[in-house]
Amino acid sequence: MGLLANGVLKADIKAAAKLMRYIEEEDTNAIDELKLLYANTGHSHVIGITGLPGSGKSTLIDVMIDYFRSSKKTVGIIAVDPSSPFTGGSFLGDRIRMQKHSFDEGVFIKSLPTKGWRGGISKVTSKMITVMDAMGKDIILVETAGVGQTEVDIKNLVHTTIVVLVGGLGDYIQIIKAGILEIADIFVINKADKNNTEDLESDLKNLFSLGTDSAKDGSENDKANAGSIKGRAGWKPSVYLTEAANNKGVDKLIEGIFAHENCLRLTGKFDGYFRSKSNSDMKEIISDYLSNLLFEKLENDSLYKKLLDDLIHNGSDPYTAAEKILSQFLNFKK
């Protein structure tokens, strides 16, 4: 077995950190180590935490860690931050977040820059989950970058998706229902002491009730959105009000998280997550391999150069050119 993989399986923090660095640097040695780890994963409860900027996700996570640790749970945190325009690294970084947990051997914190990756996550998020899972972390928390309603990719990587909202923003449901609302297993309305939460809480609960046989009101679009929210694995999304900065309401949220985990296990959906993640991982690996292989071949390909010249000088179009290239290399026909 690879030295790093062996260290990770023994929960060696230095080995895990080194492997994660290789993963970020796209070092080919990282793939060999990950191959050895994959069979030892699928045990952690992976929790995604997303929401609009300013909703207090990081503060909430900081308090959640305390509760998990008080229950003797080991915790891994993957904090995805916007990329620095100067260094390309995490704009915030783990040096200024969750510092009180940095000396706790039961907590492992890793910051990742998005580097322009879609959905508020990083391209290597799934690989980092694999490493932390193989380390034996009971809980893995994945915090998205907080870019708004496009953050739906996290749903494919976690068991439980938590959407953090704040009140006082007017017609919140209309603003974001087309995006992150549909992926939530649990809603948290944070900063409940500073904002009006009653309207938002009422709107969310009304949205859950739409689409039922007894519901008569609401547009067809509302019902369609409610239908996507209701009934995943027999679970109805729940709403929790918290004041993370004052450590209020977080205990009830933790109970809700454990309740969702229990529901997933009872319905067989907990283990099904591993199949979903594996499917996502395999597609990404195949996509990366094929694109790299194709672009390497195109570097000195005469047809590619001719088609590029035609685009510039003869008024051709890139769609037809791409179809011709795919036809030659992949036997692709539209």
Q: Report which of residues 252 and 323 the model is more confident about.
A: 252
Residue 16's pLDDT band (cuts 50, 70, 90): very high
Span of 18-32, 53-67, 182-196, 248-262 with lowest mean pLDDT: 182-196
Average pLDDT value over all residues in the chain = 80
Type of residue numbered 224: A
Q: Report which of residues 21 and 114 the model is more confident about.
A: 21
SS3 content of the chain, % helix, strand, coil (to 5): 50, 15, 35
Q: Report which of residues 280 and 35 the model is more confident about.
A: 35
Residue 49 three-state SS: strand
Residue with tokens 């915090």: 143
Query: How many residues are present in the chain?
Result: 334
* Mean pLDDT, range 208-225, rounded to an integer: 46
Which range among 52-66, 94-108, 239-253 has the greatest average pLDDT?
A: 239-253
Q: Report which of residues 117 and 6 the model is more confident about.
A: 6
Q: Report which of residues 121 and 172 the model is more confident about.
A: 172
Q: What is the pLDDT of residue 259?
A: 96
Q: What is the pLDDT of residue 213?
A: 38
Q: What is the pLDDT of residue 61?
A: 93
CB 145 within 8 A of CB 81: yes
* Mean pLDDT, range 62-69, rounded to an integer: 95
Q: What is the pLDDT of residue 263?
A: 94
Model confidence, pTM: 0.82
Q: Report which of residues 262 and 224 the model is more confident about.
A: 262
Query: Could you tell me which residues are beta bridge partners of residue 238?
Result: 186
Residue 216's pLDDT band (cuts 50, 70, 90): very low
CB under 8 Å to 185, separation ≥6 — which residues? 160, 161, 162, 232, 235, 237, 260
Q: What is the pLDDT of residue 232?
A: 58
Q: Crossing angle for the helix pair 302-313 and 318-330, nearest 10 degrees?
A: 170
Which pair of tokens denotes residue 143? Answer: 């915090």
Query: Cβ–Cβ contacts within 10 Å for residue 168, how many?
Result: 12
Q: Pairing between strand 186-190 and 238-241?
A: parallel
Q: Report the distance separating Cα 222 and Cα 62, nearest Å.
A: 34
- Please list the alpha-helical segments (H only) found in the chain: 3-9, 13-24, 28-37, 57-70, 125-135, 172-176, 198-209, 220-229, 250-266, 269-298, 302-313, 318-330
**pLDDT tens column, 66-95:** 999 999 999 999 988 654 444 444 444 444
CA dihedral defined by 210, 216, 219, 222, rounded to 10 degrees?
A: 0
